[in-house]
Structure 1
Amino acid sequence: MDNFLRSLYQERASQPSTLGIIFIEKKDHHFYLTDTFDCILLIITSETHMEFFSKHYVYDNEKIALYIFPHHRLEKWLLTGTNPQIVGWLYEGKIIFDRNDYISQLIQNLKDFPFHERKIRIGLEFAKLIKRYNEGKMLYEEGEFLDAHSQIIKSLHYLGRLALIEKGYHPEIIVWNQVKRIDPDVYKIYEELINSEEPLNKRLELLFLAIEFFIHSRTEIGVSHILEVLNEQKYWTIQQICEHPEIELYGTNIFTLVEYLIEKGYICVTLEESKGKGIFHRYYKKVTDLN
């Protein structure tokens, strides 16, 4: 097996564009890291023309996956949390090749979790939490209890991830095991949802109250990133907000978050008359005095 793996990565290791190579082997207690494969070989490159390349092999009855992707994609995954599996790959994988300590520094940065990166991640998870909570509440009010339940499960997931990030941890695939150890209060409401024998509508009522409390208690830290960005200029159009390099990471969740900020008095709306009669443009401004 070693010789076969070496044949897969040796040529790549000699290329100047290759920044690092990591080997992840299936383990009983971390089986989720390799999906259905016996091992995964990651090759990180500085090439910008390729987003993601994969190949699957079988050798000696073992399934092997080869993944090649550029460093900017890896770094975006880590910043946005859109691929929690990558955290496990970096922590549990064996470094085979590391140009200029690129991977070692990446892992150290993961462990340090710098304050600004953490603030962005908190903002992203908070925006997702608000969106799912609002959707769940609207579905509940329409009597669509099963769909409301589905949205509340998702909002709890984002609440769990948010709790971990606040305390300096990167959420991994097995989130609730992490949350149980790190934030028992958040874990408790998840446990109540799973184990409760109350009728679904009653269970949802209690969950909305609990989640609303957690949202309220985390609003200041949850919106600190976007408010920091809005400090950069006095007035914003929604397009300008969306195009900001850091805010574009929020995706469509930014629209729900902006409305939440208006509702809570963090930003105000200024209307400017357009060319069309009775039609006004909306401009957004951070409220400097919240007292």
Structure 2
Amino acid sequence: MERPEPDAASEDAMDSFLEKFQSQPYRGRFREDRWEEEFEKIPLFMKKAPSEIDPKENPDLACLQSIIFDDERPPEEQAKTYKDEGNEYFKEKDYEKAVISYTEGLKKKCADPDLNAVLYTNRAAAQYYLGNFRSALNDVTAARKLKPCHLKAIVRGALCHLELKNFAEAMNWCDEGLQIDAKEKKLLEMRIKADKLKRTEQRDIRKAKLKEKKEQNQNEALLQAIKVYFEDEDRAELYRVPPKSTLLQVLQHPRYLVKTLTPAFLVCVESSPFCRNYLRGRKVHQVK
């Protein structure tokens, strides 16, 4: 079979195209001085997506985003997309953005309880790393309402209770999780830790109560030992003031005299040598 002769017109057109391509730069080509920066703008080759997508700066990426987050898709698909996005942020340790993504997924209110439980549990993990332990605990509680045997939710709930020093609750969550998986290492370790911390807390409470009672007894003994008097200088007599008397009641006593606008009292320990010597030979009245 004979090969067809090349078309002279086609060859001329190809030569013309090649000459033009060599003499004129390609409009869509990368600039030599910034090709790496332009290469990074192509979604397929991006090492990290920008935090804010500007359609003018990244039209291709903005187009992909509009397709991914199309509100016309079923709620389950949208929720899963936000879950995956949150997982990527979580891997990058950008927990605040992870929380936002999981929240957006939950807002879709899809009918899949397992997916919603995962969204709650993952958001709890992000909240935990942000130090929002109560918010994290609320999320794992919501996850368990949807999926009571969700082991990850139970583990994270026990962790939150430990951080909040709810040691008894932490032990309860561990026990419930161990009924599902008796060999779960994290739950076993937390159960032991929570029990130890609870015992330490109870011991510290007992010590604090004993110390408080001891101080109270010491204060009462000191109050009983301390006596307060005021002096009637005209008669050279003393009046003992009851411990529970108010200053106003004492000032209203007919034998009390205020000098230079300053009330004066004698305060001493009754059993002390000074008090015994000072009171010796003096007439003492009891204020009623």
Which interval holds the TM-score relative to the shorter structure? under 0.3
More strand per residue: 1 or 2?
A: 1
TM-score (norm 2): 0.22
Structure with more relative contact order (C-alpha pairs < 8 Å, separation 6 or more): 1
